[in-house]
Structure 1
Amino acid sequence: MPDTPEIPEANAPKSAAPVQDAPVGNWVDLFAPEATRPYLRLSRADRPIGAWLLYIPCLWGVCLAMLSSGSASFADLWIAVGCGLGAFLMRGAGCTWNDISDRNFDGLVERTKSRPIPSGQVSVRGALIWMVAQVAISALILFSFPLPAIILGIVALVPVAIYPFAKRFTWWPQVFLGIAFNWGALVAYVAHTGVIDGAVIALYLAGITWTLFYDTIYAHQDKEDDAMIGVKSTALLFGDRTRVALRYFLMGTVGLMGLAVILATAPRENPLLLVVALGGPWALGWHLAWQMRLFDGDDVSMCLRLFRSNREAGLLPVLFFAACLFL
């Protein structure tokens, strides 16, 4: 484990300046009350792509469950809405925990030194209180789900807690991120069906390989700083062979999601249903292939653009799965 440099914690909040890599003109900078901005930035509310990437697997899970059972109800609508609210809150709590854990590294990285804790806008104590508040509200939403989904939701806290430390001991921290970020697929599926089966396991694994794809691209933004301070990532592991790795992650994502669709639709014995549903992984694969063609690991702005485009990529299977409800 590399030595952890110490950065003194500020005694008083500094100017609530925007975070460097946040989109210009985001709603937090424009409309949020000034006192709340450092905390909203700590939760990445000014950069909602992470909340989308946490929420999309939940939509995959509930859609696949409805696809498998052939039924839908208002309870499924609440599963989708509740998972959306929970994704926003838990993403915020996870980012807060990540920044608390990385506070002695973030100040040494150009892209992250403007974050609220290293810049002195929020104290560690204030960040901890903010994190607990977000988790508590998320728990209220989770407890409205059936018991098996509640248990799964509680277990999800384990990978969330481990992830910030993964880059200190493995070249594959993106795997731990994938385990945490795609857990919602299991929760949403089980909230509808009450069971974990082969279809949702395949879907969950597809989500992990998708996370490996997009977060490897994302990690190329920090590869020089990461190498300097001694933390690990798949971007550093693959280096010039990243495009080859992305190709394998693409194939894994499409193949595993296709398997999930086949397993989920098999009891329905409806060929048209299968064909339309398989359009989901096909469309996702097409988008990932487009990203791979544009990828340039030395172009930071392109890496960020491609990473953010995964919201649209992940929503493509949702459109196809939702269309199947009318078949």
Structure 2
Amino acid sequence: MSIRPSGDSSGAAALPDASADHPLLRCAPPALLPFIQLARLDRPIGWWLLLLPCWESSALAAAALRQGPNLWHLTLFFIGAVAMRGAGSTYNDYVDREIDAKVERTRLRPLASGRVTPRAAIGFLVAQCLVGLAVLLSFNGLTIALGLLSPLIVLIYPFAKRFTSWPQAILGLAFAYGALLGWTALAGALGPPALFLYAAAISWTIGFDTIYALQDMRDDAIVGVRSTARLFGPRVQLAVGALYAMSVASAAVAVWLAGGGWLAYLGVAAYAAHLAWQTAQTREDVAPATALRLFRSNRDAGLLLFAGFLAQSLAYLF
């Protein structure tokens, strides 16, 4: 893989939504830094948000089956989420490299800035997909079949912002997909609770990615990129609140269909409280730093929901 020099030795630390003191950026050889950024390994929030629907679904399935969590499945989903988040980010940056070069927040990304060549990015993409495929093949046949369909959604997403104001909905279909896989991997069939949890994760993703898109509204308007943040405009708080309310309601129905349990409902309540806190701070003119902080806080929102489901499944061990 070849890398063109960027002319900026601080490029690894220059991305505005990254942590300059991340251990990977400090310790990795300079030649690997652009690829770490390309896979977003220095920004773990992406794989967390891809992972959490998998974990939530697996834990809810365990609770429905009245058994403890499958730690092997949780580990596999972690590896798969990191690999496929990296692959998705690499593909997205490859498709958007010309647009990214025109947007202040993204112009220093490895492909947009020329620090990674398109050919090197494709090779890196293939390598990450092979890791994801190895993980997927560790599950049962139904989960493998469902997992092989998900790349079709991912392929569409980078182009969605060019023809619809709802690219966040396409992202939701992709990021929430683990809500189906976690269930089928353990239960061996696709049940109604998984479908409602998938709906919950889709609404959640549209909501938090709308908040994320608030950072780029000015530049997006200039280059013609569409988003729900631009679509909702001054009604963004109401819209995000409605999306989050749908997510909470769908998660509660999923728990009910799975057989309930007060610990699982407690997780839903904690999740709802966190989303309400986010909504209260969401505004069209919110500062970019605040929008990024709210977006990143969704790791904690998802972990609260997962913790409730995990606790419910653990309760059946005692």
- Per the TM superposition, whether the score is higher than 0.5 is yes
Q: In structure 2, the residue corresponding to 1:156 is in which secondary structure?
A: helix
- The match for 1:258 is 252
CA distance in 2 between counterparts of 1:122 and 1:20 reads 19
TM-score normalized with structure 1 length: 0.92
- The match for 1:295 is 282
Is 1:285 aligned to residue 277 of structure 2? Answer: no
CA distance in 2 between counterparts of 1:237 and 1:51 reads 27
Contact 2:54 2:178 in 1 (8 A): yes
C-alpha deviations, 1:9-62, integer Å up to 9, x for none?
x98332451223212311222111211110110001111100000000001110
Contact 1:297 1:303 in 2 (8 A): no
- The match for 1:161 is 155
- The match for 1:42 is 38
Q: In structure 1, the residue corresponding to 2:222 is in which secondary structure?
A: helix
Contact 2:236 2:282 in 1 (8 A): no
Q: CA deviation at 1:138?
A: 1.1
Percent of residue pairs identical: 43
Superposed counterparts of 1:1-327, under 5 Å:
12-14=4-6, 15=8, 17-18=11-12, 19-72=15-68, 76-265=70-259, 274-298=261-285, 299-325=287-313, 326-327=315-316
C-alpha deviations, 1:94-151, integer Å up to 9, x for none?
0000000001100000000010001111000000000000001111111111111111
* Further displaced range: 137-146 or 198-207: 137-146
Q: Which amino acid aligns with 1:122?
A: V
Q: CA deviation at 1:277?
A: 1.2
CA distance in 1 between counterparts of 2:81 and 2:5 reads 28
Contact 2:3 2:116 in 1 (8 A): no
TM-score normalized with structure 2 length: 0.94
C-alpha deviations, 1:167-192, integer Å up to 9, x for none?
11110000000100011111111000
Q: In structure 1, the residue corresponding to 2:111 is in which secondary structure?
A: coil
Q: In structure 1, the residue corresponding to 2:110 is in which secondary structure?
A: coil
State the aligned residue count: 309
CA distance in 1 between counterparts of 2:47 and 2:244 reads 22
Q: CA deviation at 1:233?
A: 0.2
What root-mean-square deviation, in Å, do the aligned CA atoms of Structure 1 and Structure 2 show? 1.4
- The match for 1:7 is none
Contact 1:42 1:92 in 2 (8 A): yes
- Unaligned stretches of 5+ in structure 1? 1-9, 266-272
Contact 2:54 2:182 in 1 (8 A): yes
Q: CA deviation at 1:216?
A: 0.4
